[in-house]
């Protein structure tokens, strides 16, 4: 149980375009999902908390107009990187947890974004 | 500011050795401490600890939390090459996880 999927696993896009990443909880419902970013050889940095049916909560320093989050259902959250630039190239990971174990977060496999 | 500090940053051992990884924290509103293993992709869940002094075990891995001294350790006994990974410690706060920088473990055959 507690499986989280992400799609795509890898994407290459041109500078100025937008990219959408999907995060799904496959065998449980998640009212809250989290989006992280990880640079090479660094730890995970929380970008935002995605709340089903309401606006996402962004961490300090994360541009909400650049990283659009939509949590349309209890099993799906999307992250859209708008007008991507090379500095947005990174590993993006989502996590979610079964309702009763809020802090027992399970991670998706991650999405490697490369902006050329 | 919340801090989660892991040590050592990296270590190299030989198969069969035992390793001990440390995680100390200074946070407000502590809720839990979690350990993850990260290989080439996203982290996989190992343990969640909420109570002091109660050891959690899974095969050759074990972990314990000390809420008075604000630290946790993760032990790996009889290490194998498949244990090579980055081990991440995270502290559960009010609404999020705060991660340490990780310890890179390399197990040589």
pLDDT tens figures, A8-51? 999 999 999 999 999 999 988 888 899 999 988 788 899 999 88
List residues bridging with A21 in a β-sheet: A79
Closest CA to B45 of B54, B53, B55, B33: B33
A110 touches B: beta carbon within 8 Å: yes
Among chain A residues, the shortest Cα distance to B4 is held by A43
- The proportion of chain B whose per-residue pLDDT surpasses 70, expressed as a percent, equals 100
Rounded to the nearest 5°, which phi and psi values hold at A5? -115, 155
CB of B33 closer than 8 Å to CB of B99: no
Q: Give the pLDDT band (50/70/90) at residue B100.
A: very high
B99 touches A: beta carbon within 8 Å: yes
Among chain A residues, the shortest Cα distance to B39 is held by A109
User: pLDDT value at position A28?
Assistant: 87
Among chain A residues, the shortest Cα distance to B5 is held by A43
- Of A34, A43, A93, which is closest to B102 when you measure between CB atoms? A43
- The proportion of chain A whose per-residue pLDDT surpasses 70, expressed as a percent, equals 94
The whole-angstrom separation of Cα B7 and Cα B106 is 14
The whole-angstrom separation of Cα B44 and Cα A114 is 24
User: pLDDT value at position A100?
Assistant: 52
- Of B92, B100, B101, which is closest to A103 when you measure between CB atoms? B92
User: pLDDT value at position A103?
Assistant: 65
Q: Give the pLDDT band (50/70/90) at residue B95.
A: confident
CB of B74 closer than 8 Å to CB of B35: yes
User: pLDDT value at position B66?
Assistant: 95
Among chain B residues, the shortest Cα distance to A58 is held by B96
pLDDT tens figures, B17-68? 999 999 999 988 888 999 999 997 888 889 999 989 999 999 999 999 999 9
Mean pLDDT of chain A: 90
- Of A42, A49, A108, which is closest to B96 when you measure between CB atoms? A49
* Residue ranges of E strands in B15-54: 19-26, 32-38, 44-49
- Of B41, B44, B45, which is closest to A104 when you measure between CB atoms? B45
The whole-angstrom separation of Cα B42 and Cα A59 is 21
**Cβ count within 10 A of residue B102:** 24
B interface mutation test: which of A34, A105, A108, A110 has the most B CBs within 10 A?
A105
A105 touches B: beta carbon within 8 Å: yes
Given a cut of 60, whether residue A101 has pLDDT beyond it is no
Q: How far is B74 from chain A (nearest CA, A)?
A: 17
């Amino acid at each position: 149980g507690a499986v989280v999927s992400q799609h795509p696993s890898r994407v290459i896009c041109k500078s100025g375009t937008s990219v959408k990443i999907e995060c799904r909880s496959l065998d449980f419902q998640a009212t809250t999902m989290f989006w992280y970013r990880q640079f090479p050889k660094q730890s995970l940095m929380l970008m935002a908390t995605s709340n089903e049916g309401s606006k996402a909560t962004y961490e300090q320093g994360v541009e909400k107009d650049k990283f659009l989050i939509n949590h349309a259902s209890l099993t799906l959250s999307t992250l859209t990187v708008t007008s991507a630039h090379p500095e947005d190239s990174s590993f993006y990971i989502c996590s979610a947890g079964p309702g009763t174990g809020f802090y027992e977060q399970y991670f998706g496999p991650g999405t490697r974004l490369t902006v050329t | 500011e919340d801090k989660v500090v892991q040590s050592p940053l990296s270590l190299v051992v030989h198969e069969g050795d035992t390793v001990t990884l440390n995680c100390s924290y200074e946070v407000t509103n502590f809720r839990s401490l979690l350990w993850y293993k990260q290989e080439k992709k996203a982290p996989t869940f190992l343990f969640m600890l909420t109570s002091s002094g109660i050891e959690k075990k899974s095969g050759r891995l074990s972990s314990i939390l000390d809420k008075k001294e604000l630290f946790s350790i993760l032990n790996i006994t009889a290490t194998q090459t498949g244990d090579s990974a980055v081990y991440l410690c995270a502290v559960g706060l009010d609404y999020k996880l705060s991660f340490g920088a990780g310890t890179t473990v390399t197990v040589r055959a």
